Amino acid sequence: MAAQTILFDFTLDKDKTSDEKQRLEVAKILRNELEHVFPQLELAYSMESPENGYFAVLHENKDTVITCRIFQHGLLTLNVEYFLPDGKDGISFDTMRTVELILRQKFGCDRSKYLPPIKRGGYIDIYMTSSDERIIEYDIDQVVYEARSPFQKIQIMHSKTLGNMLLLDELQNIAESDLIYTETLMCRGVENYEGKEICILGGGDGALLYELLKENPKHVVMLEIDEIVMQACNKYLSVICGDVLEKRKTDQYEIIVGDCVEYLKKFIAEGRKFDYVFGDLTDIPITDAPVGETWDFIRTIFEHSFKVLKPGGKYLTHGNGSTCKVQLRLFEEQLDLLRPKVKYTTTKAFVPSFMEEWLFYQVTFA
């Protein structure tokens, strides 16, 4: 069950909406045409303002509510809202598209836009945002798993085209479709992991560990704080993690459940060094300045990670969407402040479940 919101925009000649008489004539045309689709339509409320234009609320048996706004500059917006119980068919695409075309003809305008139903208030939330805050609608049809750990809300949703997807605090993390994400993060085909010692910070979905083990490293240690994430991914995302989350320690790898910062401090005290450190943790924050808890955490990870890297070692991490120019620049400025100095390269990949291009960093000592 969910409320359905259908949106229409019409761009009229502003001479047709510049005064009260003309706006009322446009409103009359609108109501006459809508009555063909909603035959029991009644006017609930209207307001006319010489400065702000015309506003009206109409309803059909109080089940369907339509709001209309006519701006004096030539823009007419129309919102149709109704509640749709499970198993019931909503207003068809053909019907609404026909309404748009008829109104465009009646208004004598050549610019209009119809947005199909936005589903609001349902149990399954199918909308998320890209890194630069564009709305993305997913073809999610099932909540596979849902739990809350001491650290975050954990969900696994099923998408018809992307497979099972891991969401943490309602943000998309990885899906069965996203091998390209892991391969770009690890620079597969470029980096040689054979016989190397590797540390993964985070990585609770198991995908990075699973793919790295195929490269025959000497040993991998993974530091993940959330046991429940690993249990969920082991059960519902085995396509991307295989069986590596079944065990916490083998000859090839060890998964340590705990705070990665505390374990990095321990490694530093022990003098333990790695050929590669992966930052598979939080994304670069979408902020206008490098301040706040998450930025402090990123700087802490930098400080400790480079202390456990061998002289020729590399730190590899994901960044954020490649359209987030300001935030990526802020991240790079933090890298430039590190001492001893570092240098970095970047790679890009279009990640299917993110529905956008993502930037990845490869950082070495200068």
55 neighbors 75 (Cβ within 8 angstroms) = no
Q: What is the DSSP letter of 191?
A: B
**Two tokens at 255?**
């998964």
Q: Write the burial class of residue 123 (CB in 10 Å: 0-12 exposed, 13-18 middle, 19+ buried).
A: exposed
Helix (H) / strand (E) containing 15:
none
Question: Strand 171-175 vs strand 163-168: parallel, antiparallel, or unpaired?
Answer: antiparallel
Backbone phi and psi for residue 17, each to the nearest 5 degrees, phi listed first: -130, 10
280 catalytic residue (yes or no): yes
Residue 124 DSSP symbol: S
Record the tokens describing residue 35, joined without a space.
């009555």
Pairing relationship of beta strands 111-120 and 2-11 according to DSSP bridges: antiparallel
Residue type at 211? E
Residues 6+ apart with CB under 8 A from 11: 74, 75, 76, 109, 111, 112
- Give the residue carrying structure tokens 């068809």: 92
Q: Which of 321, 324, 349, 319 is nearest to 334 (CA)?
A: 319
Contact predicate 56/43, CB 8 Å? yes
DSSP 8-state secondary structure symbol assigned to residue 249: B
SS3 at position 175: strand
Helix (H) or strand (E) holding 234: helix 227-236
> Which H or E run contains 17?
none
With beta carbons less than 8 A apart as the criterion, state whether 81 and 3 touch: yes
**C-alpha pair distances (Å), 291 with each of 221, 288, 363:** 30, 9, 22
What are the tokens at 5?
A: 């919101």
Q: Dump the DSSP string for 148-168.
A: E-SS-EEEEEEETTTEEEEEE
Of 178, 275, 280, 283, which residue is the catalytic one? 280
Looking at the annotation, which residues are catalytic? 280
